[in-house]
Chains A and B, each alone.
Chain A
Amino acid sequence: MWKHSVAVLIGAALLAAQSPKYGVGHPATEEQIRGLGTAIAPDGTGLPAGSGTVAAGREIFAARCAKCHGEKATGDVGPPLVGGKGTLATAKPLKTVGSYWPYATTVWDYISRAMPFDQPGLLKPPEVYALVAYILNLNGIIGNDQVMDSKSLSQVKMPNRNGFVADPRPDVGKASPSSNQPAPRPTIDEVKKRIASQPPDQQIYELFRFWLVDQPPDVQRLFGSDATQSKGYDLYRNQLRAEGDPAGEIERKLRVIEKEGERLEIDRWNQVLTSNSPRINWKPNGFLVEMVQGRKPGRALDVGMGQGRNALWLAQQGWDTTGYDPAERAVALARENASKLGLKLSMIVAKDSEFDLGVAKWDLILLSYVEIRENAARAVRALAPGGIVVAEYFHQDSKNAPGGFADNELVRLFDGLRIVRYEDTEAVADFGMQKTRLVRICAEKR
């Protein structure tokens, strides 16, 4: 139960760090907290008792609001509150409660705290409910007879509820993949400079990984199984010796890599996936987007979800999405971003060996820049009939990552499936953001 123990550890660390040190201030009383007034969450938390009708709202609006927002709420000194439907993708977008605001709770919260402009906080809860009812009705979101209260308001689905996306910046202004030529491999000095601020053990691991990427495929495969791994480490030992490391130092470095390899690899991805680095495509994988187009959303699994660039996008397209990744800080970031977008999906901290894919249960399994060889067979098993697997990674000719694929190897891995699309192409990789040789497959279970 690795996943469980991590959660406990994080909880314990947080608690341990949080006993009061200065003992400053006084306990806040219930009365004091109530006195701050209400703040309303999108699920309706905080909405007080009371209710209001469209008709009552019409009267209050005429008396209190029309002088700024116009008699028909089409705007004057204050902004328009109605209209704009269908204009968001045009040259003249009109952003109103009806066309733009994603949550009805926000309308209640804002009127309650900030309106009327010259007397904020004047309105009592039933008046606020009534005004919200009236404005929603004007926008055709609720009927003439619908009454707004804490329950009905939090159930209102606003037209633009799914119109928001996570921040993909930096989207411009980064050092772009400038030429059509495949990028040269970075030099050892460039790598050393890039990792100079990392912990010493992490640097040892990064340099090992840099060496590994440059090795021929048969050497890289030595590290793929426990049985052959020691042969691989012998080769790295030779390398360190050639670089002039003293014997003791060589053994220390190998111990760090062998014993701490898994943790260092997870830390590496924790760092990379939460970095904002311009060398990573933070948007959904282009091949996935293309392959999902026109497919009916079902159950999707994102293997090695990272910070959720693909899983969150799938959830936004209506897929019932699950993702997992051992990099706990990346998953935490995915959770944060999902909550910003109001998305519900299942996000789990786990390694491949800890996550049971099950049998015939997924309509889509995504293997985007993850361990594809080890996962192929169980992914095929776990696909529901008619489900697809979408996978993308480097070709072994690419010097951008270890473990790349030989010609047609990816096709053979998914032999039992109907190949919908297979590409072996020069393209910009999601990791590295440099043009290099990639392989991609989309295959369907019959």
Chain B
Amino acid sequence: MHNSERSSRRQLLRMGAALSGALVAKHESALAAENTPSQLGIPLGPYGERSPYEKAVRWRRESKTPETGSSFTPLADSVGTITPSSLHYERHHSGIPTIDPAQHRLVIHGMVDRPLSLTVAEIRRLPSVSRTLVLECGGNSGSEWAAKNAPDVQRSYGLASCSEWTGVPLSLLLTEAGVKPGAAWVIAEGADACRMERSISIAKAMNDILLAYGQNGEALRPAQGYPLRLIIPGWEGNSNVKWLHSLKLTDQAYMARDETAKYTDLMPDGTARIFTMQMEAKSVITFPSGGQTLPGPGLYELTGLAWSGRGKVERVEITTDGGRSWVKAQLQEPRLPIAFTRFRLAWRFDGREAVIASRCIDETGYVQPTREELVAARGLNSAYHYNGIKFWKVQADGIVTNVEA
């Protein structure tokens, strides 16, 4: 006892207030042999890495074809509202290409007055804008339709991430090329092995699409489309074409595989909704969430993320009694349109089973629906664009699980 009091004073004297866990550990061992000099830390480095004690990683399903598939952001481990670029979710179709930006060209052609070829350096010379935007896969939370819920929030909601994106308004470049009357669509194509393509309406293209080259203060990561990609505010991730090398203006949608066979929503009557680009309001509690355990009764800060493809989050409401009553959560400001909004609520876990959930209301007045409402309107086979309220069960023993539907 006496020894530990003295040691903590010594630590304080030596370290000031910066008591990180690692340093405490190191100094505790130093105490064992008094008068042993402190070990120096590792030298300064050119490109930072996180602490070796931090273990959160993207999750992906084992596959015989690892070049295609999805990897999920560890939402339960994320703090604040920005997703580190290294943990941004991925969805690729034929692997991540290695592209030398000096060799890369973006070609704007088709129904334009002046077909243009642009280098990355030329694009970076143009007036730039930065926007913090959520990007969400159209298939995010798709497993919730079948109520065969993934065990944790990463695997059920992790195809959504939020970054600050920097680039040039696409309208600026289209105007440089000169949009011909009658041009109604932009066919965007990537330079990955399968040349992924999507059709985008000219109205959206001239409105708020960003041709991005930057993410979170540096160049895009290769997995996020280096050196150029589209960022389409509020639209499903798949349309945000990565490794962009071609924009062809046309009078018709090209009905690409990913806008007909995939990313269309099958209804109970056998018809399917097409060009369902808009992502709707959504939220999920990330703590406490599936797979976590509360150490015991007491006061906790319940927290999670809310967003809407249609604008700002107006309000988030939380239930801790299975949906019988809802209270307003506190929202972290500033609330940015189409961006992750962090919500929080102080909550006392009394050691009795509690069923918790959040629901998001966006600035258009849209209220995040229940799974039952979604299923009533769309059946069980629509696969994409699930945004139902997510319930977690905190058991009496503190273990958090899915609620069986």
CB interface residues, B 68-119, toward A, < 8 Å: 68, 93-94, 105, 107-109, 113-119
**Cβ–Cβ contact A110 & B257, under 8 A:** yes
Interface size range of chain A in the complex: 35 or more
A1-22 CB contacts (< 8 Å) to partner B: 11, 14-15, 17-22
- With known contacts A164-B264, A276-B364, A91–B254 Cβ distance under 8 A: no
- Checking A45, A169, A278 against B365 with a beta-carbon cut-off of 8 angstroms, the contacting residue is A278
Q: In the complex, are the beta carbons of B184 and A41 less than 8 A apart?
A: no
Please tell me which stretch of B216-224, B287-295, B369-377 contacts chain A, meaning at least 4 of its Cβ atoms lie within 8 angstroms of it.
B369-377
Q: Which of B128-136, B275-283, B323-331, B350-358 contacts A (4 or more CB under 8 A)?
A: B275-283
| A117 with B109: CB separation less than 8 A | no
List of A residues within 8 angstroms of B310 by Cβ: 276
* CB of B221, distance to nearest CB on chain A (Å): 22
In the complex, whether B28 has a CB less than 8 A from a CB of chain A is: no
Complex-state Cα separation, A41 to B185, whole angstroms: 11
B179 touches A14 (CB 8 A): yes
Measured between C-beta atoms, what is the minimum distance from B241 to chain A in Å?
12
Question: In the complex, what distance in Å separates the CA atom of A105 from the CA atom of B274?
Answer: 17
Question: In the complex the two chains form, is B176's CB within 8 Å of A24's CB?
Answer: yes
CA distance A100 to B125 in the complex (A): 45
Q: Is chain A's interface secondary structure helix, strand, loop, or mixed overall?
A: loop
Say yes or no for A165: interface residue by CB 8 A criterion. yes
CB distance from A4 to the nearest CB of B (A): 14
Which of A202-210, A339-347, A356-364, A380-388 lies at the interface? Answer: A339-347
Task: Find the B residue at minimum CB distance from A164.
Answer: B274
Write the A322-356 contact mask toward B (1 if CB under 8 angstroms, else 0): 00000000001101100111100000000000000
Interface residue B65 (Cβ < 8 Å from any Cβ of A): yes
Chain A residue nearest in CB terms to B272: A164
Of A25, A28, A29, A101, the residue contacting B122 (CB under 8 A) is A25
Which chain B positions have C-beta within 8 A of A341? 274
Report B360 CB to chain A, min CB distance, Å. Answer: 10
Is A14 a contact partner of B366 (Cβ separation < 8 A)? no
Please encode chain A, from 58 to 89, with 1 for each CB lying within 8 Å of some chain B CB and 0 for all others: 00000000000000000001000000000011
Query: How many whole Å from B201's CB to the nearest CB in chain A?
Result: 6
- Find B255's partner among A27, A106, A336 (CB 8 Å cutoff): A106
Q: Does A141 contact B (CB under 8 A)?
A: no
Q: Are the CB atoms of A42 and B255 closer together than 8 Å?
A: yes
The reply to whether B373 and A164 form a contact with Cβ atoms under 8 Å apart is no
A173 at the binding interface (Cβ < 8 Å) = yes
A95 and B266 within 8 A (CB): yes
Contact present for B271 and A175 (CB under 8 Å): no
* Cross-chain contact A164 with B377 (CB below 8 angstroms): no
- In the complex, whether B46 has a CB less than 8 A from a CB of chain A is no
A33 touches B115 (CB 8 A): yes
Rounded to whole angstroms, the CA-CA distance of A37 and B177 in the bound complex is 20
Binds A, one of B17-25, B190-198, B297-305, B337-345: B190-198
Question: Residue A293 at the B interface, CB < 8 A?
Answer: no
Known: A102-B260, A103-B260, A341-B274. A169 touches B280 (CB 8 A): yes
Asked if A224 is at the interface (CB within 8 A of a chain B CB), the reply is no
Whether B193 contacts A120 by the Cβ 8 Å rule is: yes
Which of A29, A109, A167 has most chain B Cβ within 10 Å? A167
User: At the interface with chain A, which of B31-39, B153-161, B242-250?
Assistant: B242-250
Does A166 contact B260, Cβ atoms closer than 8 Å?
A: no
**Does B201 lie within 8 Å of A336, measured CB to CB?**
yes
Pairwise interchain contact A77-B64, C-beta atoms closer than 8 A: yes
Contacting pair B365 A174 (CB below 8 A) = yes
> In chain A, what residue has the closest Cβ to B367?
A173
Q: Chain B contacts of A18 at CB under 8 A? A: 113, 175, 178-179
A167 engages B369 (CB within 8 Å): no
> Is A40 located at the chain interface by the 8 A CB criterion?
yes
A41-B364 in contact given A14-B181, A24-B118, A93-B381 (Cβ < 8 Å): no
Residues of B within 8 A of A109 (CB): 197, 254, 256-257
**Bound CA span A34–B368, Å:** 46
- Contact partners of A95 in chain B: CB under 8 A: 261, 266
15 A–B contacts from the bound complex (CB under 8 Å)? A11-B181, A21-B172, A22-B125, A32-B107, A33-B109, A41-B255, A42-B255, A45-B250, A113-B197, A114-B93, A117-B68, A166-B273, A173-B368, A278-B366, A340-B253
Known contacts A32-B105, A172-B373, A173-B369, then 17 further A-B pairs from the complex at CB < 8 Å, ordered by chain A residue: A14-B179, A28-B107, A33-B115, A39-B248, A91-B380, A93-B266, A106-B255, A117-B68, A117-B94, A165-B267, A167-B276, A167-B278, A172-B378, A277-B364, A336-B184, A339-B252, A339-B253
